[in-house]
Amino acid sequence: MSGQGELLEILLYTRRRAPAEPVEEAMATEGVGLDGDHPRAGKRQVTLLSVEAWQETMHQLEADLPAKARRANLVVRGIDLAASIGRRIRIGEVELQIEGETTPCDLMELQRSGLRDALEPKMRGGVFGCVTVGGSMRTGLSVDVLD
């Protein structure tokens, strides 16, 4: 089951809890993550969020927060991220191994009361993975789930 989507946003965080810095293009380094993003541990080098899941969450909460409030690195459209766990995703020349679900943290409650719980069903909070093939990526590129 392969899927194709689009990379809508790239967000970097220079340090933990820092505000998002949107960029049009970023370099991904194998085994490390995105250049300019704060260091992340182990297999959680890059986080991805589905814009459809975010919109569903906002509808449920009757809220209108931007997707960057979720604090993911990559916002994508047209990909079932829950089905991508254990698989690889290609964005341009970059490949990510998707390792697991990103668990919503206490920062979500600072964005809006109830947001943390609203992100729990159907992996609405997104997924995380590690960079297995480094390179350049930019917004607008296609996102492919590989077999």
Say how many Å lie between the first and final Cα of the chain, rounded. Answer: 7
Domains and CATH numbers, the chain: 3-146 (2.40.33.20)
Residue 13: closest CA among 85, 142, 147, 107? 107
pLDDT tens digits along 77-94: 999 999 999 999 999 999
Cα–Cα distance for residue pair 51/9, rounded to 1 Å: 10
Is the distance from CB of 133 to CB of 31 less than 8 angstroms?
Answer: no
Output the pLDDT for position 124. 92
Mean pLDDT for the stretch of residues 10-24: 91
pLDDT tens digits along 25-84: 999 999 999 999 998 878 999 999 999 999 999 999 999 999 998 889 999 999 999 999
